[in-house]
Amino acid sequence: MRRFSQRSQLVTLSEINITPLLDLAFVLLIIFIITTPLLTQSIELRLPRGGNADRRLNKSDIRTVEITTSGYYKFEGHQTPLGEIIGELAQDSRANPNLVVYIRADKECRYDLVAQVLDGCQKYGIARYSLRTDPTPK
């Protein structure tokens, strides 16, 4: 004869164990904290020396064009053909008269790649652009 009833064996779980969910949330948080700075970095360029440190500008007024030694253009962190870059810059310039184009070219890249960007800016009336350099150490 059995001493225990059938009810004791059919005990239902009335609470959800949230420990695994919290572990997952913390792991995801750590992953995002580690990878976010890596995503915001752009390509590795060795800029020429010279110039002074900049005065502060509003980030929404700045567009960045980067040029690698292999001749690739990057616009706002994404590899883009030059024609699309110039078109977007022209459109942004019409919408924002305070637009400044930062041109970051590796010191080993061909000068004609930089000249093409400058020519495109002048063609569409973008008067404010800056050739970026590493500031001279004091």
Q: What's the total number of domains in the chain?
A: 2
pLDDT per residue over 36-90, tens digit each?
776 655 567 676 666 665 566 777 788 889 988 888 898 888 888 988 998 898 8
Residue 26 falls inside a structural domain: yes
Residue 47 falls inside a structural domain: no
Q: Residue 33: give the domain boundaries.
A: 6-40
Q: What is the CA radius of gyration of the chain?
A: 27
CATH number at residue 103: 3.30.420.270
| Domain shared by 24 and 64, yes or no | no
CA distance 118 to 98: 17
What does pTM read for this prediction? 0.58
Looking at residue 27, its pLDDT comes to 93
Rounded average pLDDT over 93-108: 86
| Domain shared by 82 and 25, yes or no | no
